[in-house]
Amino acid sequence: MNASSRSLKVAVIGGGMFFDDIIGQTFKDFMRGGIAGALNSIGMSHLAPAVADVGIDVVAVGTRSQRSGTAGRIVEWFAQDLPERKIEACYGDAVWRDILAKHEPDVLFVATPDHVHTEPILDAIAAGCDVITEKPLCLTTAEADEIIARATKAERIVAVDMHKRFDPFVRDMMLNAEKKYGAINRVRAVLEEPLEVSTEIFAWAEQSNPFAYVGCHWLDVVHHYLQVKPRAVFATGQKNLLLHWDKHHLEIAQRRGVDPATFKRREPINTWDSVDVAVTYDNGMRGDYNNNWINPAEFEGAVNQEIELYGIYGRGIVDQQDRGFREAVIGDGSRTRNPSFGGRVRHIGGHLELFGYGKASIASGLLAIIRRRVLGETLDDLAETYPTAASQRDVVQVIEAASLVAQRNYEAFEAGRGTPVSARLSDTEIELVEG
């Protein structure tokens, strides 16, 4: 941090699926005007005067393969609107290490694949850097514990981009849930990603699964707002489409009337089509989480997402497709839009600016870092103001347990033994139970 000018140096690793739409555009906005203007979306506008002069400088963008040229493309994209700001494009298998050593950033934003979060986070902490990482924090409880322990010891912030926590529709329902609906007996949550995510966009789909990738959002919402702890997990999953993608992409191509050669991946993809997880919480509440990443491109929305609460006095549901914004466009069909996530406004001056809860989530982590580095507040002061690494431990534990249980049940079902496996969770352990 430059103490005299009160500015933060930020480095970004990974392109991320939403980089141009959300992450990159958010940082363009912050580089132009600081963070103060985004604080009302996270209920922190009272801090705007104290942080209004804090500058945000993206100094480096790193991606793994120089052949893909992703980092260079991103740097050129920044330069279109901010030509005076110098950002270096960096490449390498562990590109963050070179960036940490050369640029000494205050903040490392981790937008790498799900299974490549832990190492750069730990290296950043060791270098004295604060972190904002894409969700999920990591994929195993052991990794989460190590991140939390090292961040605590080093007094560094590790914020997680859990943007559904800041969705105004979801937030309003969850904040008032128990007052309106009474004790919550059950939560039903669905988040389905388009087929292109697992077959075209993510080369690493086999290293994760749809529950880890997007189910973590609803886990975070439920755990954060209802303050419950998971105590038992049952999970099953399906491997019908992607595991046989070498055959099924031909059928899909025929149905769409396109050349199969236009598909980026045509070989089998050994990952789950969908994962269905039932969680029992410490108060007896049941959470049912249904996630896939094979939703057809022809579906009306970018994703299919909804969360429903069942209480003893009432119920509530937030369904993205029922928010009221539908379009019918020649060549694009009938579509639902969600500007609450990543809406855009172009000012009279000509530049584009982002609004929505995608930006709000990043703002919450960045504000915590500014309050720590610039305003001198403690980690304890900030603990409830952003999605902390510690708040994600239970999320990661459920992700890990569900992955283990789903795989064991898949193998048992294939062997004709039904789905006999579940998991018992304690504060420290995942115990698989078969019977």
pLDDT of residue 67: 85
pLDDT tens per residue, range 340-357? 999 999 987 778 999 999
Q: Helix, strand, coil: what percent of the chain each, to 5?
A: 45, 25, 30
Q: How confident is the model at residue 149 (pLDDT cuts 50, 70, 90)?
A: very high
Q: How confident is the model at residue 84 (pLDDT cuts 50, 70, 90)?
A: very high
Q: Pick the residue with more confidence: 2 or 5? A: 5
Does residue 4 have a pLDDT over 70?
Answer: no
pLDDT tens per residue, range 265-310? 999 999 999 999 999 999 999 999 999 999 999 999 999 999 999 9
Instruction: Give dist(CA 52, CA 36) in Å, integer.
Output: 5
257, burial (CB in 10 Å: exposed 0-12, middle 13-18, buried 19+): exposed
Range from 11-20, 105-114, 137-146 carrying the lowest mean pLDDT: 11-20
pLDDT of residue 218: 98
pLDDT of residue 323: 86
Query: Model's pTM, two decimal places?
Result: 0.96
In this prediction, residues 150-179 reach a mean pLDDT of: 97
pLDDT of residue 5: 65
262, burial (CB in 10 Å: exposed 0-12, middle 13-18, buried 19+): exposed
| CB contact at 8 A, 152 and 161 | no
Instruction: Give dist(CA 69, CA 327) in Å, integer.
Output: 35
The percentage of residues in the chain with a pLDDT greater than 70, rounded to a whole number, is 99
pLDDT of residue 373: 96
Instruction: Give the chain's largest Cα–Cα span.
Output: 69
pLDDT tens per residue, range 395-412? 999 999 999 999 999 999
pLDDT tens per residue, range 361-404? 999 999 999 999 999 999 999 999 999 999 999 999 999 999 99
Q: What is the DSSP letter of 388?
A: B
pLDDT of residue 435: 81
pLDDT of residue 1: 57
Range from 11-25, 165-179, 189-203, 258-272 carrying the lowest mean pLDDT: 11-25
Q: What is the DSSP letter of 162?
A: -
User: Mean pLDDT score of the chain, rounded to an integer?
Assistant: 95
Give span(s): CATH 3.30.360.10, the chain. 167-337+396-402
In this prediction, residues 44-67 reach a mean pLDDT of: 96
Task: Name the CATH architecture for the domain at 7-164+342-388.
Answer: 3-Layer(aba) Sandwich (3.40)
Bridge pairing between strands 286-295 and 304-311: unpaired
Q: What is the assigned CATH class of domain 167-337+396-402?
A: alpha beta
Does residue 2 have a pLDDT over 80?
Answer: no
Range from 4-13, 224-233, 235-244, 272-281 carrying the lowest mean pLDDT: 4-13
Scan for tokens 């740097």, then name that residue. Answer: 75
Instruction: Give dist(CA 219, CA 214) in Å, integer.
Output: 9
In this prediction, residues 51-73 reach a mean pLDDT of: 94
Does residue 63 have a pLDDT over 80?
Answer: yes
Give span(s): CATH 3.40.50.720, the chain. 7-164+342-388
Does residue 264 have a pLDDT over 90?
Answer: yes
Token pair, residue 215, equals 């189910």
